[in-house]
Structure 1
Amino acid sequence: MMARGLELVGKLGLYIVSARILGVHESGYFFLCLTWIGVLATVSRGGFERAVVRHVAAELAVGKGRAAGHAFLAGALAVLMLGLVVSIATGALSAPIATYLFRDPEAARPLFLAAFVILPQALCYFVGNALMGLHKSAWGQLVQNGLWPLFTLAALFAGVHSLDGILCALAAANAAATAIGAALVFRERHRFVDAPSETANAERLPALWRTAMPLAVVETVQILLPALPVLLLASFGLPAQVGAFSVASRISMLTWVVSASIGSVAAPSFAARHRQGRWDELRQLNRKVRLAVALFSAPLLAGMFFFPATLLHLVGPGFEIASTALVILAVGQLVYALLPCQEIVLAMAGHGGILRWLTVAQTVVCLVLCVLLIPPFGMIGAAIATAVFAAQLAIGSAVAVRRLMPRAF
């Protein structure tokens, strides 16, 4: 939670300071680039970042350290290659994307610079998840989510005040965080050796890429769904609306940040308990996770429901236009806060296929709602679509865990 606290300070500070420096218009391009980077960095990871958590934690739980080390190296190589391809393609196609997708040729240069962030961010997230698989969850959270916002924010305070400069600082910050994470994994290299274990003859895990394939769909959809309303709003609305809604969306996601932090800490233990067949311990851990998320999310949700304009005004003048959207977004986050982290349980127990179908259903619902609601209603339509798919994941994954693993719920 302390690592996530630093993330909250870093990200909120980055969003607020960037919005104040750039203004409502240019901040629209900045948040559009953040969304674009998030989507393509997730595609670049190919599901290997979630798969490496399960494989490293589960193999170490039964004494198979060499298999855990092999999983890390194979995943890192896959992410490196995918990230290079996606980054080069994005940079080369930045002008057509700006002109034909977003109908704004001025977005071409920011999108071109954003391409340099994709690979280091993909590697940063992968290394952070590898640390979580090693049960170094605090360090993993810090590398994955805490360091790069703080480094970028430091660059802003050092005098980087242009959109181009901020995007370049973002790329450098992700590269630095990746280097720190890689050094921390290297420090744990002594654990990648086989050790005696009572469960050494446990059933062999599938190949890493087999675990990653369904999770690639899940991870891409999970990052694309929050991005989709922003991207469509960019096509139908003004940059000021994109900037205001992006800020409101990121404020509402604070409850997801809390859930993700607690769920990420618990993820390797979910994988280990499932591999060892300790169902009572898995159920107790799952219940503690749900209770902790609900307790930590309550004050955040109260602020969004009762003081939306105040929260948005803290970012800067003009962002209050998204007050109603923030309240709607908070409704979806409330449902998720009551049934959190069950998608993580499914992933760590090897039910990635079920999770993939749940996210496909989310995608269909989100697409339909975005197409129907964003053109006529703008930010409000985007907020409704976002709230619905957040609630849909919580309910769907909880039902799936209850049916597939009743002893874990």
Structure 2
Amino acid sequence: MSAAQLRSAMGLINTYGIYLAAMMARGLELVGKLGLYVLGARILGVHDSGYFFLCLTWVGVFATVSRGGFERAVVRHVAAELAIGKGRAARHALLTGGVAVLVIGLVVSLITGALSEPIATRLFRDPEAARPLFLAAFIILPQAMCYFVGNALMGLHKSAWGQLVQNGLWPCFTLAALLAGVQSLDGVLIALAVANVAAALIGLVLVWRDRHRFVDTPSDMDGTAEQLPALWRTAMPLAVVETVQILLPSLPVLLLATFGQPAQVGAFSVASRISMLTWVVSASIGSVAAPSFAARHRQGQWDALRQLNRKVRLAIAVFSAPLLVGMFFFPAMILHLVGPGFEIAATALVILAVGQLVYALLPCQEIVLAMAGHGGLLRWLTVAQTVVCLILCVLLIPSFGMIGAAIATAVFASQLAIGSALAVLRTMPRAF
């Protein structure tokens, strides 16, 4: 083996090692969240666990709103500015985004806390939900900051740490509180708030340790690189994308709950989460590659960008293959492992796997668009995805139940993959 071949092989091993580290971080997230949800439901019982999951949903949606797209924008700006030696500009983007998330998150938290009683009585028609929602207000800002700091670490090419901070640490910390003896709903929600604060602070310490990188250094591209837009301009379309992406997977479940039987809703929800394991693989690898996408685009290194894009697609296809094989050929067996009775969603799982297969073959092109500054185009792709999902849900779910929900979910997953890939081919053919 020649020296060049050896370097290429070592580089490939290093790349896949980084991807594996990122997926291990997501694996910790899955273990922590699954343990938290299962143990929390067991400790709190049916009544209080309903409020717990209601608060988790509320926090998830409004923490996303609080981030305003700045968490995705900061990945691009920090990575792109550092790539051409503009450390001060990267620091400015980081501070600007952090202050914006802090202010928006504080406002949203205060509104939730102040209006918790009317929200409970008028929106949910349950006065008992007021106190849990009031406590949930204390979680929104810390979780928004947790995700923002995690993405800032990704912009610094510390993707495994970034995923731990935004997704892995807080569920594990909260689970530890439950194991330590927290038994009440109030206690669990307070522990969740403290866990998010702790994770955000750990992330801030990690960012602070890299403060030496936020200085200007000489670069071959001084004065030649295109000026990046203001951070808020990058963030605005991405805010729409992020909000829609957290709401979209819930639409088929909500309509199925309206027209289907409870057993169908439960079985489909489990099948949907199993199928999303391929998305976890893609998100893990994509988060590692995102800052490099931004840096290569900023430097105008089209050959390197195309090569990276192809490596990412290959890695996701390789890591997703065993999961997809299981979903296609052993759906009932996989669902039975969850519990007896869930096998009724076997056909739905196969349909969901078709959508995930398409995404696994054309993954992460929406990340390429976001990191290259095409957030506006990505926003319209997401809007189209939402319209198609709504139409299919309304047409299919009342007549076909969970099969209709599975078809709608598979189509919108495929639509994002195909649409974003075509958009990259049209706007940046040299990147594909």
Q: Does 1:5 align with 2:27?
A: yes
Counterpart CA distance in 2 for 1:387 and 1:184 is: 38
> Structure 2 vs 1, CA of residues 350 and 152 (structure 1 numbering), >3 Å: closer, same or farther?
same
Q: Is the 8 A contact 1:339 1:394 kept in 2?
A: yes
SS at match of 1:76: helix
Task: Tell me which of 69, 78, 81 is aligned to 1:56.
Answer: 78
Per-residue CA deviations over 1:239-261 (Å, capped at 9, x if unaligned) read: 77665544443332221111011
Partner of 1:249: 272
Gapped regions of structure 1 (runs ≥ 5): none
Partner of 1:300: 323
Moved more, 23-32 or 42-51: 23-32
Q: Does 1:83 align with 2:114?
A: no
> Structure 2 vs 1, CA of residues 168 and 300 (structure 1 numbering), >3 Å: closer, same or farther?
farther
Partner of 1:210: 233
Partner of 1:391: 414
Task: Tell me which of 243, 248, 254 is aligned to 1:225.
Answer: 248
Q: Is the 8 A contact 1:30 1:163 kept in 2?
A: yes
Counterpart CA distance in 2 for 1:403 and 1:162 is: 54
**CA displacement at 1:388 relative to structure 2:** 2.0
Q: Is the 8 A contact 1:32 1:231 kept in 2?
A: no
**CA displacement at 1:309 relative to structure 2:** 4.8
Q: Does 1:71 align with 2:93?
A: yes
Task: Tell me which of 392, 401, 409 is aligned to 2:424.
Answer: 401
Letter of the aligned partner of 2:193 in structure 1? A
Q: Does 1:171 align with 2:161?
A: no
Moved more, 26-35 or 187-196: 26-35
Letter of the aligned partner of 2:206 in structure 1? L
Q: Does 1:267 align with 2:284?
A: no
Partner of 2:177: 155
Counterpart CA distance in 2 for 1:27 and 1:43 is: 24
> Structure 2 vs 1, CA of residues 171 and 245 (structure 1 numbering), >3 Å: closer, same or farther?
farther
> Structure 2 vs 1, CA of residues 10 and 214 (structure 1 numbering), >3 Å: closer, same or farther?
same
Counterpart CA distance in 1 for 2:187 and 2:256 is: 25
SS at match of 2:235: helix
Partner of 1:39: 61
Counterpart CA distance in 2 for 1:225 and 1:25 is: 27
Cα RMSD (Å): 2.8
Partner of 1:371: 394
Partner of 2:204: 182
Counterpart CA distance in 2 for 1:95 and 1:203 is: 50
> Structure 2 vs 1, CA of residues 34 and 332 (structure 1 numbering), >3 Å: closer, same or farther?
farther
Partner of 1:337: 360
- Normalised to the residue count of structure 1, the TM-score between the two structures is 0.90
> Structure 2 vs 1, CA of residues 124 and 9 (structure 1 numbering), >3 Å: closer, same or farther?
same
Letter of the aligned partner of 1:223 in structure 2? I
Partner of 1:276: 299
> Structure 2 vs 1, CA of residues 372 and 75 (structure 1 numbering), >3 Å: closer, same or farther?
same
**CA displacement at 1:74 relative to structure 2:** 0.5
Q: Does 1:116 align with 2:163?
A: no
Letter of the aligned partner of 2:215 in structure 1? V
Q: Is the 8 A contact 1:24 1:244 kept in 2?
A: no
**CA displacement at 1:389 relative to structure 2:** 1.4
**CA displacement at 1:23 relative to structure 2:** 6.3
Number of corresponding residues = 409
- Normalised to the residue count of structure 2, the TM-score between the two structures is 0.85
Q: Is the 8 A contact 1:252 1:329 kept in 2?
A: yes
Counterpart CA distance in 2 for 1:367 and 1:343 is: 21
> Structure 2 vs 1, CA of residues 278 and 72 (structure 1 numbering), >3 Å: closer, same or farther?
same
**CA displacement at 1:385 relative to structure 2:** 2.7
Moved more, 144-153 or 364-373: 364-373
Partner of 1:198: 220
Letter of the aligned partner of 1:127 in structure 2? V
Q: Is the 8 A contact 1:19 1:315 kept in 2?
A: no
Per-residue CA deviations over 1:78-116 (Å, capped at 9, x if unaligned) read: 011111222232344445545555566665554444333
Letter of the aligned partner of 1:229 in structure 2? P
> Structure 2 vs 1, CA of residues 226 and 107 (structure 1 numbering), >3 Å: closer, same or farther?
farther
- Relative contact order, higher structure (CA 8 A, sep 6+): 1
Partner of 1:135: 157
**CA displacement at 1:68 relative to structure 2:** 0.4
Larger Rg: 2
> Structure 2 vs 1, CA of residues 299 and 208 (structure 1 numbering), >3 Å: closer, same or farther?
same
